[in-house]
Amino acid sequence: MASYPKFSVYREIQNINDMYNEVVSWGNRLTAELDVRDEEVNNKATIKVEVVVTVAEIGRPQAGDVAFSSGESKFKGYTGSAWVDFH
């Protein structure tokens, strides 16, 4: 879970330069945290469903692969040894 930065206690800010520096610092911390979150999202596994006329077109399927056979109008899953229809 993200830990977004908080502003300092406002009593400690004595002048406009201190306020400016606090805002810049907060913006930099927020940007860094959002960059971390972006990396987490970008590195998350995604599912890509291949659309093929027949699953025989897929050269080296791996267990867990999913494809849509437009020739049969069916979604299929690969078990590691065979393609099976989803019902």
Query: What mean pLDDT is predicted for residues 57-69?
Result: 92
- pTM attached to this predicted model: 0.47
Q: Specify the DSSP element, H or E, that contains 66.
A: strand 66-69
Which tens digit of pLDDT belongs to each residue from 3-44? Answer: 777 776 666 667 888 888 888 988 999 999 999 989 888 888
Report how far residue 77's alpha carbon sits from residue 46's, in angstroms, rounded to the nearest whole number: 16
Pairing relationship of beta strands 50-52 and 66-69 according to DSSP bridges:
parallel
Q: Where are the domains of the chain?
A: 10-42, 50-85
